[in-house]
Amino acid sequence: MPPPRRCLLLSRRGLSRPAALGLWVLAGLTMALATNDPVVRGLVLVAAWVLLGRRLVPGRRLRPLAIGVGFLVLITVAVNGLLSHAGASVVVSLPAWLPLLGGPITVEGFAFGVGISLGLAAAVSVCAALSLVIEPTDLADALPACLSRTGAALGAALNLLPSLASSFVEMRDTQRLRGWRVRGVRTLVEVVVPVLGGAIESSLQLGEAMEARAFGSGARVGGLVAQRSADLVVGAGALVALSVFVVLRVVGAIGVWYPYPTLGVPDYGLAALLPPLLLVLVGFVVSESPG
Amino acid sequence: MPSAIIEHLCYWYPSWAGSAPAALFDVNLELVPGLTMLGGDSGAGKSTLLRLLNGLVPHFHGGRIAGRVEVTGLDVLTTPTRDLARHVGFVFQESQLGFVRGVVAREVAAGPQNLGFGPREVEAMVAAALDRVGIGGMGGRRLSTLSGGERQRVALAGALAAAPEVVALDEPTSQLDEAGTRALEAILGDLASSGHTVVVAEQRTGRLGGSGSFRLVMVEGGQLSSEGSPRVAGSVAAGGAAGPPGMEVWALRGVTAGIAGRPVVPDVDLCGCEGEILVLTGPNGAGKTTLLRTIAGLLPPIAGRVERAPGRDRGASRGSRIAYLPQDPGTLLHRSSVLDEIAQTLRWSGVSDDPMRILGQLGLAALARRDPRDLSGGQRQRAALATVLVGRPELALLDEPTRGMDAASRVGLSKTLRALADEGASVVLATHDSELAAELGDRVVLVQNGRVTAAAGPAAAGPAVASKVAAL
C-alpha cells in the first residue's frame, strides 16, 4: 500500500459544516417556536432566507419553498382573521347565520394570524436549510459514530427523494414522445406508478450495492468530516445566540405577545432583538458547500 | 492457489410463476490471480456468476442453490455478503445507483468505514485507491459534477479501497468512451499483474482485449461453454447509405444547448435529413445527450432555434412522431410484458404496425411475453429500442443504443436502423461506440470539450471514425 497521504482536510474532532449548520437551525427553530413575538419571528425568517439565498446547493430551487411558505402564511392569516371573532377593532361584522364566519371580523384577529404564520414560516424556512444548504448525505456523514448506520440508511433514503422528482420529469418526457398525453387522473397514473416502481427498483439496487460494501458489518467508525474556521464561527455564534435567547426568555426580557383585546406594540428592550440579529449575522459566515 | 472454486453449482432465482429455468447450471470454475473475462450474450448468466463471488447470489437475491462455492477460503453459501466484502470488491453495471455519499472521497471511504477501519487508515486507503484509478485530485469533488467515466472510476476506487484479493466488475465499459476504456484496461492490467484476481463480465470482450494476457470464459445459457480467445464484436456491416439523403427533417440553427440556463454545447449549426444516419460521438460528458434532447424538443435551446420540417404525407402506417431512447431503458419498461409495452406505444401514438416485426428484427420474438424486469441488461436495452422504434417513426433519436448489447444484437440493431433510414427516417445516434459510428454512420460529428468540431484526430474518435467525421 502506498504511504498514507491526506486527500482532504479530514478530522473527527471539531465542528463540521453540517454540525455547525445543525446548531444554527436548532437556534433558529427555538427562537421561532419558543416565543410568539412577531418581530423576533420575523427576524428569524429573514435570517433563514438570507442564508438560503446565499448558500443554496447548486441544482436546488427556492421557488417551491417560497410558494409553500407563502401559501401557509395566507391560509393561517385568513383562517385566524375570519374565525377568531375576538378583539376591539372591528373591521366588518358578518351575519350571525353564516356558519363559522358569522360575527365580528377584527384587526386583532388578523394580527394574531400574522404572528402565528410568521412563526410557522420561520420554522419551516429554518429547517429547509438542512436540505437546501447542505446535501442530506453530508448531514448523515456528520452524525456521531453510534448513529452512523442510521445515518447511512437515512442518507440513502434521502437520496431517493431528489431522484424521484428527476425520474418523474425524465419519464414524463420519454412517455410524451411515445404519444402519451395528460387526459385526466387516469393518464397521470400511467407515469406516477412507473416512477414509484422505478424508485423501488432503484432502492433494491442501492441495497445490493450497500450490502456488497459491507454495510452492517462489524464496528463501524464515524464519518470523516471536513472542518473550516467558518464552521467554528457559525457553530459558536449559533450557540451564543441560543444561550442569550434562552436567558432573556427565562428572565422575561422576551415576553409573550398577545394582541387581544386591543392591538399593541410588543413591550421589550432592544436586547431582545440581539439573538435573532446574531442569527442573521452568523448566516453570512456560513461557508459554501464543498466540492 | 485458486482464489475462487466453484463446483457443480446450480442456481435458480426466486420465481412467482412456478418453475423457472436455472440461471446457472452445473458450473465448474477455478479462478486464479490474473485477469479473467466472462464473455457471452445477454442473459447468459454472466452477472449472476459474478454475484456468486461476493454472495449477493444467493444471500441478497434469494432463490435455490446447489453445489459448492469457495472464495478466498470462505464458503460463500454460509458466509454473509458483508463479511465477504472484505475479500471481494464489486463494481456494478449501473455503478452510480449504488452511491450513498455526495463527495468522491467520502463515497470511496464508505466500504472501509463499514469494515471498521480507523479514520487514519481509511484516509490512507481512500488516497491510495483514488491514485490507483487515476483520480487522485478529485477527492473533494461532488459526484453530481462528474462524467459517466469519472463516476465509473469512483466506483472502482470504492471497490478497491479495502484492498480486496478479488475484484469483480459487471460490464465496466458499457458507459465508457474510448479513452475511458483504455484507462480502465490499464488499471485492470495493473491489478492483475499485482496479484489480484480480477473477474470482468463483458459482452464485448474485444473492448478490453489490450489488457495483456487474460483468460476468457464463455457463458451460454447458464453454463460455461468454452474457454478461448476473445471474440471480436460481430461485424455490423449493414452497408452505407442507400443513396443521397433526402429532405431536411430537423435542424439546429445557431443553437446553444444546455441545461437550466447553463450552456453545454454553444453555437451549433447541424441538420439531419431523410434516409440519413447521423452519429454524435465523443468522450463522456461532452454534451451528446444534451444535443439529442435539444433536437427532441425536451430541452429548450438557450439561444438559436430548433426546426422540425412540417409534417408530410407519409401514408397511414407511417408515424410522424419522434422515437427517443434515453440512456436508462428502465424509464420505458413498466408493463407486464415486452409485447404490452410495444402495444402501448402504438395505442398512444395512434399508429398501426405489427409488434412482432420489430421484435423479430431485434431478436426478441422469443421474449415477447416476458416481463421486462426479468430480462438481462442487454435484453432490456433491446426491448426499450423495440418500444420506441415500433411504428416507423420519422425521426429516431437514440442515446447509447448498444449499451450492454452482445455482438449478435448489435448486428440486429444496425440492420433495423439502416432499414428505418432506407424507409426515409432520419436517425441520430449518440454513442461512444466507435465501431458502430464508423460502420453505420453516414455522417459522424465529434462533440468534444463542449464544441461540435469539424475535424477529429484518430486518438479522439478512433481511426475508423476519423475518416467519416463530417465537415460542418
C-alpha cell read off for B270: 447541424
- Per-residue three-class SS string for chain B: CCCEEEEEEEEECCCCCCCCCCCEEEEEEEECCEEEEEECCCCCCHHHHHHHHCCHHHHHCCCEEEEEEEECCEECCCCCHHHHCCCEEEECCCHHHHCCCCEHHHHHHHHHHHCCCCHHHHHHHHHHHHHHCCCHHHCCCEHHHCCHHHHHHHHHHHHHCCCCCEEEEECCCCCCCHHHHHHHHHHHHHHHHCCCEEEEECCCHHHHCCCCCCEEEEEECCEEEEEECCCCCCCCCCCCCCCCCCCEEEEEEEEEEEECCEEEEEEEEEEEECCCEEEEECCCCCCHHHHHHHHHCCCCCCEEEEEECCCCCCCCCCCCCEEEECCCHHHCCCCCCHHHHHHHHHHHHCCCCCHHHHHHHCCCHHHCCCCHHHCCHHHHHHHHHHHHHCCCCCEEEEECCCCCCCHHHHHHHHHHHHHHHHCCCEEEEECCCHHHHHHHCCEEEEEECCEEECCCCHHHHCHHHHCCECCC
With beta carbons under 8 A apart, name residues in chain A contacting B322.
177
> Exposed, middle or buried, B159 (CB in 10 Å: 0-12/13-18/19+)?
buried
Chain B, window 392-451: residues with a beta carbon less than 8 angstroms from a chain A beta carbon: none
Q: pLDDT 10s per residue in chain B (472 long)?
A: 789 999 999 999 887 655 678 899 999 999 999 999 998 887 889 999 999 999 999 998 888 999 999 999 999 999 988 889 999 999 998 777 778 777 889 889 988 988 888 888 999 999 999 998 888 888 888 787 787 778 888 999 999 998 999 999 998 887 777 777 888 888 888 888 889 999 999 877 766 666 567 888 989 888 887 665 544 434 444 444 445 567 888 999 989 988 767 788 888 888 888 889 999 988 777 888 889 999 998 888 999 999 887 554 444 344 457 899 988 888 888 888 999 999 999 988 888 889 998 898 888 898 999 888 888 878 888 899 999 999 888 899 999 888 877 777 888 888 889 988 988 899 999 988 777 888 888 888 888 877 787 534 334 445 445 555 543 3
Cα separation, B145 vs B122, whole angstroms: 24
- pLDDT score, position B9: 93
Option in A4, A7, A137 nearest B100 (CB): A137
Option in A3, A12, A205 nearest B94 (CB): A205
Whole-Å CA distances, B202 to A272, B13, B173, B407 = 68, 21, 8, 11
Helix axes B377-389, B338-349, angle to 10 degrees: 20
Search chain A and give the residue with CA nearest B330: A198
* B323 touches A: beta carbon within 8 Å: yes
ipTM of the modeled complex: 0.73
Min Cα distance B407 → chain A (Å) is 27
Q: How many CB pairs under 8 A join A and B?
A: 193
Are B189 and B209 contacting, i.e. CB atoms less than 8 angstroms apart?
Answer: no
- pLDDT score, position B233: 39
- pLDDT score, position B472: 37
Are A208 and B60 an interchain contact pair (Cβ–Cβ within 8 Å)? yes
Q: CB atoms < 10 A from the CB of A216, how many? A: 15
Search chain B and give the residue with CA nearest A4: B124
Are A7 and B298 an interchain contact pair (Cβ–Cβ within 8 Å)? no
Q: What is the pTM of this model?
A: 0.68
Angle subtended at Cα B369 by Cα B367 and Cα B371, rounded to the nearest 5 degrees: 85
Option in A208, A212, A221 nearest B113 (CB): A221
* B295 touches A: beta carbon within 8 Å: no
Give chain B's length. Answer: 472
Are A137 and B56 an interchain contact pair (Cβ–Cβ within 8 Å)? no
Amino acid at B191: L
Cα separation, A125 vs A31, whole angstroms: 13
With beta carbons under 8 A apart, name residues in chain B contacting A182.
none
Give chain A's length. Answer: 291
- pLDDT score, position A4: 39
Residues B394, B399, B403, B408: what is their CA dihedral angle, to the nearest 10 degrees? 20
Interface test with B, best of A213, A287, A289 (most B CBs within 10 A): A213
With beta carbons under 8 A apart, name residues in chain B contacting A211.
56, 59-60, 81-82, 85
Low-confidence ranges of chain A (pLDDT < 70): 1-15, 59, 136-137, 140-146, 148-149, 151-163, 166, 216-227, 289-291
